[in-house]
Structure 1
């Protein structure tokens, strides 16, 4: 990770971490308060197994407030695909470049979609984009994993969703309300990964 940080500094670039996660209408449960001897019960009316996938970029640069850029997976596709395609990742990276206004050093995992010919060609044709792969089985090195943990605790834990649309609304609203303008939370996720902070 030191090499990635040096590369970002040398290029005066944003250091950007990417990850994706899925959220289900079956809510995760956590500890809560209750009367002694009365186990809390979360009743779920919607038995749908509907899931929503979301990809996020945690963006860091010395002297700049940390940023979170995210995109839910499109709900309806002509080909029936339920996960992100390489074109979705391309569009997310392009959006980040436009919003950040500078070079990007992107760090992400070895998901097969990240290694397709299309995305590799896109990366090779952009002089403002440098990409590094995380080591296999190293989610603890990715600050976005911490963001998913915060988001689940704040927006979905112990919550009974009325229907799939309720889940989609909550997951789309969560990052915007909780993280997009909370730079301290984003910085905390970076610190939690054990990486050296890029803040001055």
Structure 2
């Protein structure tokens, strides 16, 4: 509330106008391409103890590479939009993410 009042005092009506709904973070095409390259290299290269990509690990990788914070849910949506699929992790409860190589990516022509 105090921030709103300060904006009103300093900038008047323009200071309190809506800037629109908050959006989820977006990665540029260059950032997506870099993320895909790094995911293909595998988790071991990035310091994890095994070759499973979990959503939490990918979320961390996005933060390290792009300095953008995604939620786990947002990470899942990002991967789906860019053609990655999940496969159950077998004996472990972790989910493994793999590229849909050879398939057309959703949303792209």
Greater RCO, CA 8 A, separation 6+:
1
| Alignment TM-score > 0.5, same fold | no
TM-score by length of 2: 0.32
TM-score by length of 1: 0.22
Q: Write 1 or 2 for the structure with the bigger share of strand.
A: 1
